[in-house]
Chain A
Amino acid sequence: MLRVRPPLTSASSHPRVPFFKQVAMARSKEVFWWSLFSAGGALSALFLPAIVAVTGLAVPHMAGNEHAIRHDVHQTLVWWPVRLVFLGVIGLSFFHCAHRMRHTAMDLGLRHASTALGVLFYGGAIAGCIAAACVLRTW
């Protein structure tokens, strides 16, 4: 039940590629997505509760008017390493969520559609990364 290790996915049977190589290829692909899932899981666990509390609870209910808050956001993000951290947290968290949603959908009976789910969710995560890069680049 605990998804702690990349699963050994069943390779499609292609006659020209030996079976052990198919398994190795399928496995290395899984390891790639799993490493992004793992990194995103760690970063979202460390950063997101505090960021949610700030943007959703502290900013609208405690701080001053919109001009003062925008000024504070600018003060924070004008330093490029902060923007880089934001890009890493947001981008990798997207991959974390995509991996979990894909595997949950597979666990709920869509195992035969794993490739389509991968395109959908990992594609969405890539789009999210591009959007994050665009937002944080033009600061």
Chain B
Amino acid sequence: MKGPYIRPIPFDWFMQTAAYRRFMVRELTSVFIAGYLIFLLVFLHRAGQDDKAFGALLECLRSPVSLVLHLLVLGAALFHSITWFNLTPQAMPVRIGEERLPDALVAVLGGYLPWIVVSVVIFWGVLG
């Protein structure tokens, strides 16, 4: 037998603690986001075609199934954003001299504030 010994781990290890479950939910947001990215490409492609093709897509978008799916994706995207901004200061601590800036401050300045700015610009560009 070659290679290092790998200790067998039960398949449902992530159900053991709340922290593991949150970790798994965070990882699974990527499935929803990847699915949405494919939809976004279809949306942009159809918008580049004629009114008929785009109108058919809009009909689909107005269905309740689409609404539920988009709310799920929105929830996944929000969960990803919040966990990402909270994790970034732990992964990349910011230091000024010897002092380490508080994680909450770095999360706000490097995450939440730019997030609000970008979101406002997008909504303003669409609705304004």
Task: Write the residues of chain A forming the contact surface with B, with a CB cutoff of 8 angstroms.
Answer: 1-2, 4-5, 10, 13, 41-42, 44-61, 65-67, 69-70, 72-74, 76-77, 86, 90, 93-94, 96-98, 100-101, 103-104, 107-109, 111, 128, 131-132, 135-136, 138-139
Alpha-carbon separation in the docked complex, A14 to B31 (Å): 35
Does more than half of chain B's interface fall in helix, strand or loop, or is it mixed? helix
How many B residues have CB within 8 A of the partner chain? 61
B47 touches which of A41, A65, A70 (Cβ 8 Å): A70
Say yes or no: A60-B61 contact (C-beta < 8 A), given A4-B91, A50-B123, A96-B30: yes
22 contacts between A and B (CB under 8 A): A2-B91, A10-B3, A44-B33, A45-B115, A46-B114, A46-B118, A47-B122, A49-B81, A52-B77, A54-B122, A55-B40, A56-B74, A57-B74, A58-B126, A60-B66, A70-B51, A90-B41, A93-B34, A96-B30, A101-B27, A132-B41, A136-B44
Residues of A within 8 A of B24 (CB): 104
Closest residue of B by beta carbon distance from A41: B84
Docked-complex contact A4 and B87, CB < 8 angstroms:
yes
Contact with A along B69-92 (1 / 0, CB 8 A): 111011001101100110110110
